[in-house]
A and B are shown apart, each in its own frame.
Chain A
Amino acid sequence: MAEEIEAATAVYGAILAGGAGTRMGNPDKPKQFLMLGGKPVLVHTVEKFAISGLFDAILVLCPPDWVDQTRDLLRRYCECGSDAIVVPGGAKRNDTIMNAIGYIRDHLPVDEDSILVTHDAVRPFVTHRILQDNLRAARQHGACDTVMPATDTIVESQDGRMVDAIPARSILYQGQTPQTFRVLELGEVLGSLDEGELSSLTDACKAYVLRGRPVALVKGDSANMKITYPEDMRIAASLLGEAHA
């Protein structure tokens, strides 16, 4: 596969399926390994990337002790013959992304124009349109973040008890994923952060903002939900309609 990829136009996907609690028999395991319809959530997400035809290679970053099981799940459930590469993730989201960049550097063609689309495994409802818009924006601006205009009023509180400020909703957005970057630039930016900055990092786009680098907005989708809480599985299942009218 690697021989056929041109570094200058290469597009890689990194599906972030980290998280603790993957031990056998744990009813509270990460949501990406729970079944949605007839497949694990993670497999739906991988299929979405694979079917789009937009990627030269897809990495799945999973907990280190769950690599074989992740491969098993992809082999068993992925209908599009996915040859996604399963790579151990790190302790934090940032480490996991660094592992993805490391794998690409070591095993796949890469140069300063190669693109990496990072995405939460627990967002299986990502669409072709969002993926395509991410690629377009990242090629033009270097980095992009998928967002939705905030619909709830956001309240700021330093101590968690009293309201300090209520920022204008019209300039606030809620972050989704994918977040897309130039692979090597992302590695350089993340590598430049000190401990303090790393501890404040909630996502990779923030690293760009800390370094004053541009990040473009890409319109998300209200259905591109993150399956986080137990009740989210029920909401996700209810979003699925019948296959034929």
Chain B
Amino acid sequence: MLNRIYRLAAPRVFEPVVVDQPLGPDSVVVRPTYLSICNADQRYYQGRRSSEVLARKLPMALIHEGVGTVVHDGSGALAAGQRVVMVPNAPREHDACRAENYLETSCFSGSGSDGFMQEYVVLPPERLVVLPDGVEDPVAAFTELVSVAMHAITRFDSLAHDDRSTLGIWGDGNLGFIVSLLLRLRYPDAAIVVFGRNRYKLADFTFADKTLLTCEADRTLRVDHAFECCGGDGSASAIDQMIGAVRPEGTLSLLGVSENPVPIDTRSVLEKGLRLFGSSRSGLEDFRAVAELYRSHPEALRYLGGLVGSVVVADSIASMNRAFEADLRKPMGKTIMEWLA
């Protein structure tokens, strides 16, 4: 099958290329409809990854958050016309002890292989998840990000002790918002406290019990467990504040990506017996859990809908660039491409 792929050839340069893509007997062909831009895509687009990484990975199609319509199904598992979320992680093996998104052999769309900026995306049926009808397309487009939050919370649930009276979330961006929201729904009796740097962003965390500016946070405030959703330059100060705020034997879930090493106050970690664990990406089960969440908690969709910053029609190279440039300028929220290319 001839398929047109829109690859990033160099920072800020998209290039269409046609490939003769083989179809297996079980292959499902999906026509992408709405694609969501992630910070990881922006790091490639702006050339903020190291020159070695850029040289190794480009040219490559970006985007790992997206929804589409099944146009051809060789497997019989799905039907043409069905709306599906595409799972970007592709495991090559099964490991009883390790989740699919941590296996070194796994491949990830938009990182190790072409992302979803394609005319058609060819996937096996087990990498597609059907969403309930009530989910608006622009929200459905960033289901992958919601699944990342779901994955981190599922890990937290299995690793943390049972006292979840107060949960602290550091980060007032998209991921902080989604993690806080999912914690609110999962632990309705817990006190949800969100720490951030921007008062205007924190004002939108209406479901939280308390929001605090990190610079004004009460040093005596304590939480049972903490989630770091900052990444970048904010990681170090957030983790430092979290170590101070978490009660003994609590957990620190680390979700934010930092390009540089982050110093850790190990003395305090040891004294308190804290558990720090990383959480990255997600797998099929997390996507399914999000689909179930959408069914059981339709109010979550209304909160998530507030994250849709802009929807940009992407039907040409110029409009793809416009979408990425618009995403760069936004203070918060998700930039969604209505994919017509």
Show the binding face of A for B, using Cβ within 8 Å: 36-39, 44, 47-48, 50-53, 79-81, 124-125, 127-129, 132, 223, 239-245
Instruction: Give Cα A52 to B21, complex, Å.
Output: 15
- List 22 A-B residue pairs with CB atoms under 8 Å apart, sorted by A's residue number: A36-B20, A38-B20, A44-B20, A51-B29, A51-B120, A52-B31, A53-B69, A79-B22, A80-B23, A80-B72, A80-B74, A124-B2, A125-B2, A125-B4, A127-B4, A129-B119, A129-B315, A129-B340, A223-B4, A241-B18, A245-B57, A245-B114
Closest 6 CB pairs of A and B: A53-B71, A241-B17, A245-B60, A79-B23, A37-B20, A243-B19
Seed contacts A50-B72, A245-B58; 11 additional CB < 8 Å A-B pairs = A37-B20, A51-B71, A53-B72, A53-B81, A79-B1, A80-B1, A81-B74, A128-B31, A128-B120, A239-B18, A244-B114
Determine whether the beta carbon of B7 is less than 8 Å from that of A245: yes
CB distance from A40 to the nearest CB of B (A): 12
Instruction: Give Cα A81 to B29, complex, Å.
Output: 13
Whether B16 sits at the interface, judged by CB under 8 Å, is yes
Tell me which residues across on chain A come within 8 A of B179, comparing CB atoms. Answer: none
Tell me which residues across on chain A come within 8 A of B4, comparing CB atoms. Answer: 125, 127, 223
Instruction: Give Cα A9 to B119, complex, Å.
Output: 24
- Select one of A47, A244, A245 contacting B2, CB under 8 A: A47
- B7 and chain A: residue at smallest CB distance: A245
Query: Which bucket holds chain B's interface residue count?
Result: 20 to 34
- B341 and chain A: residue at smallest CB distance: A129
- B69 and chain A: residue at smallest CB distance: A53
Instruction: Give Cα A51 to B74, complex, Å.
Output: 11
- A242 and chain B: residue at smallest CB distance: B19
Tell me which residues across on chain A come within 8 A of B113, comparing CB atoms. Answer: 244-245
Determine whether the beta carbon of A223 is less than 8 Å from that of B80: no
A-B pairs under 8 A by CB, number: 78
Tell me which residues across on chain B come within 8 A of A37, comparing CB atoms. Answer: 20
Determine whether the beta carbon of A245 is less than 8 Å from that of B59: yes
- A47 and chain B: residue at smallest CB distance: B1
Whether B243 sits at the interface, judged by CB under 8 Å, is no
Instruction: Give Cα A56 to B57, complex, Å.
Output: 40
CB distance from B195 to the nearest CB of A (A): 39
Instruction: Give Cα A81 to B26, complex, Å.
Output: 12
Tell me which residues across on chain A come within 8 A of B57, comparing CB atoms. Answer: 245
Instruction: Give Cα A44 to B4, complex, Å.
Output: 13
Instruction: Give Cα A48 to B70, complex, Å.
Output: 15
Contact with A along B71-82 (1 / 0, CB 8 A): 110100000110
- B112 and chain A: residue at smallest CB distance: A245
Determine whether the beta carbon of A223 is less than 8 Å from that of B72: no
Instruction: Give Cα A124 to B1, complex, Å.
Output: 10
Tell me which residues across on chain A come within 8 A of B18, comparing CB atoms. Answer: 125, 223, 239-241
Instruction: Give Cα A47 to B17, complex, Å.
Output: 18
CB distance from A35 to the nearest CB of B (A): 11
- A52 and chain B: residue at smallest CB distance: B71
Q: A53-B81, A80-B1 are in contact. Are A39 and B20 (CB under 8 A)?
A: yes
Determine whether the beta carbon of B20 is less than 8 Å from that of A51: no
Contact with A along B220-237 (1 / 0, CB 8 A): 000000000000000000
Tell me which residues across on chain A come within 8 A of B114, comparing CB atoms. Answer: 244-245
Instruction: Give Cα A223 to B316, complex, Å.
Output: 13
Determine whether the beta carbon of A48 is less than 8 Å from that of B31: no
Determine whether the beta carbon of A53 is less than 8 Å from that of B80: yes
CB-CB contacts below 8 Å: B1-46 with A? 1-2, 4-5, 7, 16-23, 29, 31
Contact with A along B52-64 (1 / 0, CB 8 A): 0000011111000
Instruction: Give Cα A240 to B341, complex, Å.
Output: 18
CB distance from A25 to the nearest CB of B (A): 26
Residue from B18, B57, B61 having most chain A Cβ neighbours under 10 A: B18
Instruction: Give Cα A128 to B340, complex, Å.
Output: 9
Residue from A44, A51, A53 having most chain B Cβ neighbours under 10 A: A51
Tell me which residues across on chain A come within 8 A of B69, comparing CB atoms. Answer: 53
Q: A53-B31, A128-B31, A129-B340 are in contact. Are A44 and B19 (CB under 8 A)?
A: no
Instruction: Give Cα A216 to B332, complex, Å.
Output: 41
Instruction: Give Cα A39 to B20, complex, Å.
Output: 9
- A239 and chain B: residue at smallest CB distance: B18
- B31 and chain A: residue at smallest CB distance: A128
CB distance from B206 to the nearest CB of A (A): 40
Instruction: Give Cα A80 to B315, complex, Å.
Output: 26
- Select one of B19, B31, B70, B341 contacting A241, CB under 8 A: B19
CB distance from A122 to the nearest CB of B (A): 13
Tell me which residues across on chain B come within 8 A of A36, comparing CB atoms. Answer: 20
Instruction: Give Cα A132 to B5, complex, Å.
Output: 18
Determine whether the beta carbon of A128 is less than 8 Å from that of B119: yes
Tell me which residues across on chain B come within 8 A of A81, comparing CB atoms. Answer: 74
Instruction: Give Cα A51 to B81, complex, Å.
Output: 12
Instruction: Give Cα A125 to B23, complex, Å.
Output: 17
